[in-house]
Amino acid sequence: MSEHEDEREVERLYRQLPREEPPAALDAKLRAEARRAVVSHPAPLVAPTGRRSWYFPVAAAAVIVLAVAVTWQVEREQVDEGAPLPQSAPVPALRKEQKLPEQAPQKAPEARQYAPLAKRAEKPAEEAKNQAPAEAARDQAPAASVAGTLSQSREDALGERENRMRQERPGGAVAPSAAPPARRELQRDAIQAQGRASFADEPPEKWLERIAQLRQQGRHDEADKALAEFRKRYPDYRIPEATLEKVEKK
């Protein structure tokens, strides 16, 4: 029997299996849900009168108070994040991470790129462990001081490496035209990491963050393509409003 005939035989048998269907109650529920979704309109905006005339002013005042409070809170958080940090903050449990720059200097730029998302997303502990050590450390308390210490120690390590290279060079002269080699290397790695075209294997959150980065860098064509690809791959993914602003073309 040919392969084609075999397939026909399999198809024939498959068609003989019971043709299960969803229960009628579920059908009705879903149809009702679909109808409700398209017919539910917001209530008409008619100013209440009489005894209820105070509704609108009070609601407006509440909205304003809430908006001011949220804005104030967001600004305060930003100030906290940007505040200078003590360089010698006591973080005994993180000594291992502090040695990171010498052990794996290549990973540092990438870890730095993902940091804002990691903070927002509140990753589960397991996932955090799998991230770059610097990022994992940042998720731990006290997050801000750890990040500061790590970034400081990274800078220190970089400086040390530069000094070493200067000393090794005959006469100790530094080429005036270019950035230091170590820094150049790190920059090149960061650019390569950003420029990777395929995000397909990444979780949706990271994928979106990369798109936002492309948008920030003005690489709108790449961002558009990546966003289209993302929507194709995750048609049901609801992009949060805040993220949407970053990934969509304005």
Interface residue list for other proteins (CB under 8 A): 3, 6-7, 9-11, 13-14, 16-17, 19-23, 26-27, 29-31, 33-35, 37-39, 200, 228, 231-236, 238
Q: Closer CB to other proteins, residue 39 or residue 83?
A: 39
Min CB(193)–other proteins separation in Å: 22
For residues 65 and 57, what is the distance between their CA atoms, to the nearest angstrom? Answer: 12
**For other proteins, the closer CB: 29 or 120:** 29
- 165 contact partners, CB below 8 Å, separation of at least 6: 180, 181, 182
Nearer Cβ to other proteins, position 121 or 143? 121
3-class DSSP string for the chain: CCHHHHHHHHHHHHHHCCCCCCCHHHHHHHHHHHHHHHHCCCCCCCCCCHHHCCHHHHHHHHHHHHHHHHHHHHHHHHHHHHCCCCCCCCCHHHHHHHCHHHHCHHHHHHHHHHHHHHHHHCCCHHHHHHCCHHHHHHHCCCHHHHHHHHHHHHHHHHHHHHHHHHHHCHHHCCCCCCCCHHHHHHHHHHHHHHHCCCCCCCCHHHHHHHHHHHHHCCCHHHHHHHHHHHHHHCCCCCCCHHHHHHHCCC
CB of 25 to other proteins, least distance (A): 10
CB of 45 to other proteins, least distance (A): 20
For residue 1, the minimal CB distance to other proteins (Å) is 8
Identify which of residues 9 and 77 has a Cβ nearer to other proteins in the complex: 9
* Identity of the residue, 29 or 169, whose beta carbon is nearer to other proteins in the bound complex: 29
CB of 199 to other proteins, least distance (A): 12
**Least distance from other proteins to the Cβ atom of residue 149, Å:** 35
